[in-house]
């Protein structure tokens, strides 16, 4: 029977793509394995993954996708957070996962189950079927260290992170303002906090954890983890830094007519002159905020490529559904598109982010600090302005600015609004200041380090060989 590795990603596009890229990376260097990927259809907007899955299916025969039956979430589940829906969906999914892996085991020797952080209920499936279960952590080592440390922080206070008003001292990290911890865990009394706490408790019980990073990007965080300072009351499992894992073309959604046009437009712009603004598959702004961004970009005088999405729906029942096509004339200041047409381009809903970041005309990136986007910018050698919106992105901003020097921070008002003056200042700082140049030099250094990590003998390749060895022993 063939040796198979089962990958079980969370449905969110950023999580799914990086895990499939892990499968492709394993196959590149260990082609005797087959990769089986369990796909969970989400009953909410998690980004359009079908085009990506279809392309991988067509080009990589050793990867097969197993589509699990759809699950209806209980009508009474309500939350401000996508993550609550994800945890509940993946908890209810456990019987389907058990059945799928048992079926795969009839024709293959399953050497390992690798699951997303959100899929922690499947630890019991691995135990039932006597298959070693590993976590794949789609954020960085700093974030992993913080979640390892979360049970200790939970026991250290009765307050919610949002009410602590203090810096958290987490091993291997710069001081983290308590309000900058991951958004879903700020309120201690919410169900989603309990879900994350439980997942954090489950992490060390796995056979090992694979992190989408490379050691020289996060040396201090990795040392704290490997020295056992983050898991305080049990042994730390092996941690394998295997990254950066990014898709060459993470295309999602349908062609909006502007995607290829933006690359053509970039061809006519001077080298490293364009600021690219893009905020992830779930990043949405109010109309007021979109107008402030437009005013800031116009005043900055910088060239820009900006991906605009419709504001979030005011209808609560549509909160987790994909937004409609944006009406740019309605959303942006009157005459803005015409006044900036010689140095700016606005595209609707989507742009080919990896291709844009790697284009010679792009010199800066205003990002929501999603980890995949940060890695894509590092691999392209593009410095960033950090403007977090959801999930663990405020935490990532602290690490990217204070620890890594890969980004300048976008500063919000107390109500979370970013004024046009701040947009103007940060875009200009990034493109034309000593501070911006320092970030640019550091990003280029990390680009070279990322390439070295993935080469023969590099740290990520060595980590992969150790991981594969753990599957084949005995």
pLDDT tens, residue by residue, 379-423: 999 999 999 999 999 999 999 999 999 999 999 998 999 999 999
Decide if 123 contacts 202 (C-beta within 8 A).
Answer: yes
Provide the residue ranges of all domains of the chain, joining segments of one domain with +: 2-247+454-471, 257-451
Query: What pLDDT score does 46 carry?
Result: 81
CATH number of the 2-247+454-471 domain? 3.40.50.2000
Instruction: Let me know if the fold of 2-247+454-471 is the same as that of 257-451.
Output: yes
Q: Which of 229, 214, 244 is nearest to 145 (CA)?
A: 229
Query: What pLDDT score does 334 carry?
Result: 97
Query: What pLDDT score does 457 carry?
Result: 98
Query: What pLDDT score does 48 carry?
Result: 82
Per-residue pLDDT of the chain (474 residues; tens, 9 = 90+): 899 999 999 999 889 999 999 999 999 999 999 999 999 999 887 878 899 999 999 999 999 999 999 999 886 766 678 899 999 999 999 999 999 999 999 999 999 999 999 999 999 999 999 999 999 999 999 999 999 999 999 999 999 999 999 999 999 999 999 999 999 999 999 999 999 999 999 999 999 999 999 999 999 999 999 999 999 999 999 999 999 999 875 444 333 344 558 999 999 999 999 999 999 878 899 999 999 999 999 999 999 999 999 998 876 556 667 788 999 999 999 999 999 999 999 999 999 999 999 999 999 999 999 999 999 999 999 999 999 999 999 999 999 999 999 999 999 998 999 999 999 999 999 999 999 999 999 999 999 999 999 999 999 999 999 999 999 874
Query: What pLDDT score does 255 carry?
Result: 38
Query: What pLDDT score does 170 carry?
Result: 98
CATH number of the 257-451 domain? 3.40.50.2000
Query: What pLDDT score does 260 carry?
Result: 53
pTM above 0.85, yes or no: yes
């Amino acid at each position: 029977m063939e040796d198979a590795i089962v990958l079980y990603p969370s449905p969110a596009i950023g999580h799914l793509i990086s895990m499939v890229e892990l499968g492709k990376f394993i196959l590149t260097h260990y082609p005797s394995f087959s990769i089986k990927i369990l796909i969970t259809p989400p009953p909410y907007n998690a980004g359009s993954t079908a085009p990506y899955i279809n392309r991988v299916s067509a080009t990589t025969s050793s990867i097969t996708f197993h589509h699990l039956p759809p699950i209806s979430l209980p009508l009474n589940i309500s939350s401000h957070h996508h993550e609550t829906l994800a945890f509940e969906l993946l908890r209810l999914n456990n019987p389907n996962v058990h059945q799928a892996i048992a079926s795969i085991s009839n024709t293959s020797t399953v050497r390992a189950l690798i699951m997303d952080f959100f899929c922690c209920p499947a630890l019991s499936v691995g135990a039932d079927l006597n298959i070693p279960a590993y976590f794949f952590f789609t954020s960085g080592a700093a974030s992993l260290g913080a979640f390892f440390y979360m049970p200790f922080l939970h026991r250290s206070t009765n307050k919610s992170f949002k009410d602590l008003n203090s810096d958290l001292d987490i091993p291997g990290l710069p001081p983290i303002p308590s309000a900058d911890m991951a958004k879903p865990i700020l309120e201690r009394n919410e169900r989603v906090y309990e879900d994350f706490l439980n997942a954090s408790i489950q992490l060390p019980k796995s056979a090992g954890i694979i992190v989408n990073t490379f050691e020289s990007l996060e040396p201090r965080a990795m040392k704290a983890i490997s020295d056992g300072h983050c898991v305080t009351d049990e042994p730390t499992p092996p941690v394998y830094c295997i990254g950066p894992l990014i898709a060459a073309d993470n295309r999602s959604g349908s062609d909006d007519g502007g995607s290829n046009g933006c690359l053509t437009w970039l061809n006519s712009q001077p080298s490293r002159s364009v600021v690219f603004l893009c905020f992830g598959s779930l990043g949405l702004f109010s109309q007021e905020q979109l107008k402030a961004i437009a005013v800031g970009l116009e005043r900055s005088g910088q060239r820009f490529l900006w991906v605009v999405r419709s504001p979030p729906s005011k209808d609560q029942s549509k909160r987790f559904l994909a937004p409609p096509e944006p009406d740019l004339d309605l959303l942006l200041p009157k005459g803005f598109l015409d006044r900036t047409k010689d140095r700016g381009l606005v595209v609707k809903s989507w742009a080919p982010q990896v291709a844009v970041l790697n284009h010679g005309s792009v010199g800066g990136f205003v990002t929501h600090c999603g980890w995949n986007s940060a890695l894509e910018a590092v691999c392209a050698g593009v410095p960033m302005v950090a403007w977090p919106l959801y999930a663990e992105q405020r935490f990532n901003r602290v690490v990217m600015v204070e620890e890594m020097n890969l980004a300048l921070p976008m500063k919000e008002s107390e109500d979370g609004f970013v004024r046009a003056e701040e947009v103007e200042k940060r875009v200009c700082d990034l493109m034309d200041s000593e501070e911006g140049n320092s970030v640019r030099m550091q990003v280029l250094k990390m680009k070279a380090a990322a390439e070295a990590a993935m080469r023969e003998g590099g740290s990520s390749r060595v980590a992969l060989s150790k991981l594969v060895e753990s599957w084949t022993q005995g």
